[in-house]
Structure 1
Amino acid sequence: MSVSLRPYQKSDVDNLRTALQGGARRVLFEASVGYGKSVVIEHLAAAYSAARRRVWVLSNRSAVVGQLRDRAGGMPGVEVMTVQAADRRRAALAADPAHLVLADEIHMGGSGPQYGRVFDCAPGATVIGFTGSPRGSTFEVLPAHVPGRDAAWLTQQGYLSPLRYVCPDVLDMKGVRKRNGDFDPAAAMARMEEGKIFGKSLETWREFALGQPSLGFCVNVKHAMETADAFRRAGHKCEVLVGKDSDDEVREKIAFLADGGLVFSVDKVSAGFDLPDLRAIISLRPSESEQLWVQQLGRVARAADGKDFGLVLDHVGNGDRLGTLTEKRDWRNLSKTRGQRKAEDGSNLATRTCEECYHLFEAGPKKCPQCGAALEKDRRIPADESVRLRAIEADELEARRSEAKALRKRQGQSIRQMSGWLGFDKAVANMKARHARATRQGDDLVREFAERELRSYGRAP
Structure 2
Amino acid sequence: MQVLRNERRVAGEVSSMRITPRQYQSEDLSALRIAARSGARRIIFEASVGYGKTIIMLLVAMAYVSVGKRVLILSNRTSVIEMLRDEIGESDLIKIMTVQSAVNRLDIIDKPAVILIDELHMGGAAGQYRSVFEVFENALVIGFTGTPKAALFEVFDAHVQAKSARWLTDHGFLSPLKYFCPETIDFSRIRTVGSDFDEDELVDAMERSDICGDAIESYRQHCVGRPTLVFTVNIKHAKAVQEEFQAAGIECETLTSEDDEDETARKIALLKSGGLLISVDRVSAGFNVPALHAIISLRPTRQPHLWVQQLGRVARLAEEKVCGWVFDHAGNTLRNGTLTEDRDWRNGDQVDDERQTEEGERLSVRVCSCCNFAWEGAATFCPECGHENGQDRRISKRKAIQLREQEAADIEAARQAAAAAARRAQGKAKTFKALAAEIAKRPGTRNIHSARASASKILAARMRKAVEEGRTEEAEAIHADLAANGHRKVADETLADIEAAV
| Superposition TM-score tier, normalisation by shorter sequence | 0.7 to 0.9
Deviation at 1:398, TM superposition (A): 5.2
Q: Distance in 2 between matches of 1:321 and 1:410?
A: 52
Contact 2:231 2:298 in 1 (8 A): yes
Match of 1:454 in 2: none
DSSP-derived class of the 2:268 partner: helix
**2:359 alignment partner, one of 345, 363, 381:** 345
Bigger radius of gyration: 2
Cα distance change of structure 1 residues 422 and 226 upon mapping to structure 2, 3 Å threshold:
closer
Contact 2:184 2:211 in 1 (8 A): no
Match of 1:323 in 2: 337
Any idea what the Cα deviations from partners look like across 1:389-410, whole Å, max 9, x if unmatched? 4335445655676788899999
Match of 2:147 in 1: 133
Match of 2:100 in 1: 84
Match of 1:371 in 2: 385
Deviation at 1:304, TM superposition (A): 0.9
Match of 1:200 in 2: 214
Match of 1:268 in 2: 282
Match of 1:155 in 2: 169
DSSP-derived class of the 2:362 partner: coil
Is the aligned partner of 1:314 residue 2:328? yes
Cα distance change of structure 1 residues 16 and 409 upon mapping to structure 2, 3 Å threshold:
farther
Cα distance change of structure 1 residues 395 and 335 upon mapping to structure 2, 3 Å threshold:
farther
Match of 1:421 in 2: 461
Is the aligned partner of 1:68 residue 2:84? yes
Match of 1:49 in 2: 65
**2:295 alignment partner, one of 281, 301, 306:** 281
2:228 partner amino acid: S
DSSP-derived class of the 1:303 partner: coil
Is the aligned partner of 1:184 residue 2:198? yes
2:132 partner amino acid: V
Any idea what the Cα deviations from partners look like across 1:101-154, whole Å, max 9, x if unmatched? 111111125564001111111101111111111111111111311100111111
Q: Distance in 2 between matches of 1:70 and 1:335?
A: 33
Cα distance change of structure 1 residues 239 and 106 upon mapping to structure 2, 3 Å threshold:
same
Contact 1:213 1:279 in 2 (8 A): yes
Q: Distance in 2 between matches of 1:109 and 1:339?
A: 30
| 1:379-458 to 2 correspondences below 5 Å | 379-394=393-408, 413-415=427-429, 416=435, 419-423=459-463
Structure 1: which 5+ runs fail to align? 431-461
Match of 1:10 in 2: 26
1:174 partner amino acid: S
Cα distance change of structure 1 residues 335 and 259 upon mapping to structure 2, 3 Å threshold:
closer
Cα distance change of structure 1 residues 391 and 425 upon mapping to structure 2, 3 Å threshold:
closer
Q: Distance in 1 between matches of 2:37 and 2:60?
A: 15
Counting aligned pairs with the same residue, the percent is 44
Any idea what the Cα deviations from partners look like across 1:30-86, whole Å, max 9, x if unmatched? 111111111111111111111111111111011111111122333441111111111
Q: Distance in 2 between matches of 1:177 and 1:149?
A: 36
Contact 1:213 1:257 in 2 (8 A): yes
2:33 partner amino acid: R
Q: Distance in 1 between matches of 2:112 and 2:420?
A: 76
Cα distance change of structure 1 residues 232 and 337 upon mapping to structure 2, 3 Å threshold:
closer
Cα distance change of structure 1 residues 17 and 407 upon mapping to structure 2, 3 Å threshold:
farther
Contact 2:123 2:129 in 1 (8 A): no
DSSP-derived class of the 1:321 partner: helix
Contact 2:355 2:363 in 1 (8 A): yes
Q: Distance in 1 between matches of 2:42 and 2:279?
A: 34
Deviation at 1:211, TM superposition (A): 1.1
Contact 1:344 1:386 in 2 (8 A): yes
**1:35 alignment partner, one of 51, 67, 88:** 51
Match of 1:166 in 2: 180
Contact 2:73 2:97 in 1 (8 A): yes
DSSP-derived class of the 1:269 partner: coil
Any idea what the Cα deviations from partners look like across 1:164-207, whole Å, max 9, x if unmatched? 11122333211212223111221111111232222111111101
2:108 partner amino acid: A
Any idea what the Cα deviations from partners look like across 1:259-290, whole Å, max 9, x if unmatched? 11111111111001011100011101111110
Cα distance change of structure 1 residues 83 and 340 upon mapping to structure 2, 3 Å threshold:
farther
DSSP-derived class of the 2:320 partner: coil
1:69 partner amino acid: R
Q: Distance in 2 between matches of 1:164 and 1:153?
A: 17
Contact 2:90 2:96 in 1 (8 A): no
Cα distance change of structure 1 residues 420 and 309 upon mapping to structure 2, 3 Å threshold:
farther
Cα distance change of structure 1 residues 422 and 82 upon mapping to structure 2, 3 Å threshold:
same
Q: Distance in 1 between matches of 2:101 and 2:423?
A: 78
Deviation at 1:324, TM superposition (A): 0.8
**1:119 alignment partner, one of 112, 125, 133:** 133
Structure 2: which 5+ runs fail to align? 1-9, 15-19, 430-434, 436-454, 472-502
Contact 2:381 2:389 in 1 (8 A): yes
Q: Which runs of 4+ in 1 moved over 6 A?
A: 399-412
DSSP-derived class of the 1:159 partner: coil
Bigger relative CO (Cα 8 Å, ≥ 6 apart): 1
Q: Distance in 1 between matches of 2:113 and 2:124?
A: 25
Cα distance change of structure 1 residues 74 and 402 upon mapping to structure 2, 3 Å threshold:
same
**Once structures 1 and 2 are overlaid, which stretch shifts more, 69-78 or 118-127?**
69-78
Q: Distance in 1 between matches of 2:418 and 2:150?
A: 49
Q: Distance in 2 between matches of 1:91 and 1:389?
A: 62
DSSP-derived class of the 1:47 partner: helix
Cα distance change of structure 1 residues 419 and 355 upon mapping to structure 2, 3 Å threshold:
same
Cα distance change of structure 1 residues 349 and 334 upon mapping to structure 2, 3 Å threshold:
farther
Cα distance change of structure 1 residues 402 and 97 upon mapping to structure 2, 3 Å threshold:
farther
Q: Distance in 2 between matches of 1:172 and 1:88?
A: 46
DSSP-derived class of the 1:63 partner: helix
2:462 partner amino acid: L
Match of 1:23 in 2: 39
Cα distance change of structure 1 residues 400 and 227 upon mapping to structure 2, 3 Å threshold:
closer
